[in-house]
Copies of this chain bind each other. A is one copy, B any other.
Amino acid sequence: MEAIQYGLGPVGSQIARLGLRRGLRYVGAVDTDPAKVGRDMGEVIGLDEKLGVAVTADPAELLAKTGKATVIHATGSSLRAVLPQLIDLLKAGCSIVSTCEELSYPYKTHPEEAAVLDETARKHGGRVLGTGVNPGFVMDILPLCLSTAVQELSALRVERVVDAAKRRLPLQKKVGAGLSPEEFRAGVGEGWIRHVGLPESVHMIAAGLGWPLDRVEETIEPVISRERLTSGHVPVEPGMVAGIHQVARGFVNGSGERITLDLTMAVDAPGADRVIIDGVPPLTLEVRGGVHGDLGTASVVINAVHGLNKLEPGLHTMLDLMRTHFGPLSRI
């Protein structure tokens, strides 16, 4: 399959290396970084060999040459920011798998952007899907899959703990590692300390289960370290912030909180993923040590390509690839 890598930062480069190993034939690469434009994609993503594909800052020019392709898109978390990029790709008939967290389930949080994407994709025969390890797998698709095995479902809780020391530097910055509690709160207020995507996962789960949500609430608190932590990129002193504890809750009219996504990303936190279904029967699933964030995101993105290409043109979410879950019979 002919593919284009759009975005060659650390995540995009890792996905591209995996895509190559797994059989994608790259015919183009897009990045706006002047230090990358014009160079061979193989060099830029850290391979020892050239691929014969020059990085370009001009996707329109590239698409005029290649025609429609499968695009692996990894440029940002904000759907509003990446929307023009996605629209141009869809107008060329491309099928896009994107790491954009807000694209993972945009119908509730970004309904206008979702409508434009769906309409453009259908019109030009393209497809677009946002995914990754979280949102996109551990805190939405995996619990939905497990829900297949329950007769009744009262509440669904997912706990994910990520050891930020094992992640790349931008992740450690995003969770506030090394900051004072005051700096952390300021960062939360300014919006740059936050994991993006928990509300999208709550909405995806609710849609799958057929639960109409009243509201989704999200809280962000610092994880304060009691000791000096030196395993991350920056040292964390006692009393300072080791990371983030972020919780999103979905409330169903008349029955209160029924979806809880509890995420901790902190230096030296012991990695773990746990899905707890309060149902008949009750079920608890654990992934030992948790799914690694960076490795997992590249996996989920590349593994979504074969499924997406079997779907009709349009905007899709991982829910379109995961149709086995506890679900409402009354609406059929």
Q: Which residues of B lie under 8 Å from residue A322 when comparing CB positions?
A: 145, 321-324
Query: Is the beta-carbon distance between A288 and B284 smaller than 8 angstroms?
Result: yes
Query: Is the beta-carbon distance between B300 and A148 smaller than 8 angstroms?
Result: yes
Does A52 have its Cβ within 8 Å of any Cβ on chain B? no
Q: In the complex, what distance in Å separates the CA atom of A298 from the CA atom of B152?
A: 11
Query: Is the beta-carbon distance between B148 and A1 smaller than 8 angstroms?
Result: no
Query: Is the beta-carbon distance between A145 and B142 smaller than 8 angstroms?
Result: yes
How far, in Å, is A212 (CB) from chain B's closest CB?
Answer: 15
Contact of A324 among B133, B304, B331 (CB under 8 A): B304
Q: Which of A79-87, A120-128, A169-177, A306-314 contacts B (4 or more CB under 8 A)?
A: A306-314
Q: Which of A53-61, A185-193, A289-297 contacts B (4 or more CB under 8 A)?
A: A289-297
Q: In the complex, what distance in Å separates the CA atom of A219 from the CA atom of B122?
A: 50
Per-residue CB contact flags for chain A residues 128-162 toward chain B (1 = under 8 Å, else 0) read 00000100011001100111111110000000000
Query: Is the beta-carbon distance between A287 and B291 smaller than 8 angstroms?
Result: no
Q: Which residues of B lie under 8 Å from residue A24 when comparing CB positions?
A: 329
Contact (A303, B23) CB under 8 Å given A285-B287, A322-B323: no
A331 (CB) vs chain B CBs: closest residue: B306
A:100-118 near B, CB below 8 Å: none
Q: Which residues of B lie under 8 Å from residue A330 when comparing CB positions?
A: 23
Does A302 have its Cβ within 8 Å of any Cβ on chain B? yes
Query: Is the beta-carbon distance between A286 and B288 smaller than 8 angstroms?
Result: yes
Query: Is the beta-carbon distance between B138 and A296 smaller than 8 angstroms?
Result: no
Question: In the assembly, how many copies of this chain are there?
Answer: 2
Does A327 have its Cβ within 8 Å of any Cβ on chain B? yes
Q: How many residues of A contact B (CB 8 A)?
A: 57
Does A280 have its Cβ within 8 Å of any Cβ on chain B? yes
Q: Which residues of B lie under 8 Å from residue A23 when comparing CB positions?
A: 328-330
Does A325 have its Cβ within 8 Å of any Cβ on chain B? yes
Query: Is the beta-carbon distance between A299 and B145 smaller than 8 angstroms?
Result: no
How far, in Å, is A302 (CB) from chain B's closest CB?
Answer: 7
Query: Is the beta-carbon distance between A149 and B145 smaller than 8 angstroms?
Result: no
Q: Which residues of B lie under 8 Å from residue A137 when comparing CB positions?
A: 148-149, 324
Query: Is the beta-carbon distance between B286 and A286 smaller than 8 angstroms?
Result: yes
Does A326 have its Cβ within 8 Å of any Cβ on chain B? yes
Contact of A332 among B133, B306, B329 (CB under 8 A): B306
Does A283 have its Cβ within 8 Å of any Cβ on chain B? yes
How far, in Å, is A293 (CB) from chain B's closest CB?
Answer: 10
Per-residue CB contact flags for chain A residues 38-81 toward chain B (1 = under 8 Å, else 0) read 00000000000000000000000000000000000000000000
- Give me the interface of A with B, judged by CB distance under 8 Å: 1, 18-19, 21-24, 133, 137-138, 141-142, 145-152, 280-281, 283-288, 291-292, 295-296, 298-300, 302-307, 309-310, 318, 320-332
Besides A23-B330, A286-B288, A303-B326, 9 new A-B residue pairs in contact (Cβ under 8 A), listed by A number:
A146-B287, A147-B303, A148-B299, A149-B291, A149-B300, A283-B288, A285-B287, A307-B327, A310-B323
Closest 9 A-B residue pairs measured CB to CB? A307-B323, A321-B324, A23-B330, A321-B323, A23-B329, A306-B327, A145-B145, A284-B288, A151-B299
